[in-house]
Structure 1
């Protein structure tokens, strides 16, 4: 990815968030800070794939107990972003993979206890997060130019064809934006529209009534 490269990326969210971003009522999205985030801390987008973003938003709305997002999604929607990237850690390139491995080896040499990625739940990549977080920290310590974004390709879901095809049903390219200033503008995906005042009011009430965070997990009956 060359400096100044423009890309279109899509974020699955609640319709309230989409409308607020496009209309200017909301200036930016919060960074995801989960210890299992695939590409480390940042705001997550699907590159060039609005349908994959909608699938994510719908899955989050259908499964609130899974806590796919910090904030609940009640009315699934997608917002597009035009991103201008000058400094990207691109994990689809040899340069990105080498830097990741160098930091991993530094952690091993220093005797740092390593987290593990969850083989039973590919969404939980704690080792990835640990290495990316350390990588950004090392660059800060050395006064290197910080990466504005991290980019990675992920095979997710059942394989298409056979397991050697390299394609999977939910495969995607994901980006984690670390510097909100590289987001040039927000837009509605093709054929979408902003909600009417009445629709916005109803969606706001539904979102306000939804439990937040750990409260979205179902209670376990005690015996």
Structure 2
């Protein structure tokens, strides 16, 4: 019902320590991910209110030799016009765009991208989401092209390109035997419009601020 999300969200971005420092010193140097297997399309990714998952992601990258020192930077986010895949209508919208894209691939004789598992992933989480990414980017491209054509022809448009995409994901296997909860379940927020990032901050751990109880003797 409500397409624009004006609320502020705290997100956490796992990265190399040098990237964290660079963003703190120069928050305009935002790096957009454009990998073909990005789960929510192209943009800057944040784990929604999930510091631990962001750090684990960065730590895993360090173990693979992809970064030197794992770190997490916080972001104050305003999702704006958000394609939120926790809402039924956006799932249906993406499905319709996928049908159009699939027909185009068939007519051209090309093979559709596929979501794939990593060889070592025993839970088969389809970490490489090339089909999802291609479909989401196809949707964004079609909306943008229609908006641009409307402006050129009519001087205005009713089309609205999305500022962000959002999704909830189950990942990592059951949290315990027989569980319906999963060890790495999380919400991701992919920011396409950099103006949705209001600022970065260095997260700090909460402490127990309560004073110790006063001992009394009888």
TM-score by length of 1: 0.76
Summarize deviations over 1:93-123 as a string: whole Å, max 9, x none: 1011011101011122334431111144621
Larger CA Rg, structure 1 vs 2: 2
Contact 1:28/1:180, CA 8 A, preserved across alignment: no
Does residue 55 of structure 2 align to residue 61 of structure 1? no
In the TM superposition, 1:16-165 aligns within 5 A as 16-22=18-24, 24-64=25-65, 72-112=66-106, 113-119=111-117, 120=124, 122-143=126-147, 144-162=159-177, 165=180
CA–CA distance in 2 between the matches of 1:171 and 1:121?
11
Q: Which runs of 5+ in 1 are unaligned?
A: 65-71, 193-223
RMSD of aligned alpha carbons: 1.9
Describe the shift of the 1:163–1:95 C-alpha distance in structure 2 as closer, same or farther (beyond 3 A): farther
In the TM superposition, 1:146-185 aligns within 5 A as 146-162=161-177, 165=180, 167-185=181-199
Summarize deviations over 1:188-223 as a string: whole Å, max 9, x none: 11239xxxxxxxxxxxxxxxxxxxxxxxxxxxxxxx
Contact 2:58/2:70, CA 8 A, preserved across alignment: yes
Q: How many residues align?
A: 183
CA–CA distance in 1 between the matches of 2:175 and 2:115?
23
Describe the shift of the 1:185–1:106 C-alpha distance in structure 2 as closer, same or farther (beyond 3 A): same
Q: Which runs of 5+ in 2 are unaligned?
A: 118-123, 148-158, 207-218
CA–CA distance in 2 between the matches of 1:181 and 1:146?
14
CA–CA distance in 2 between the matches of 1:163 and 1:124?
26
CA–CA distance in 2 between the matches of 1:55 and 1:29?
21
TM-score by length of 2: 0.78
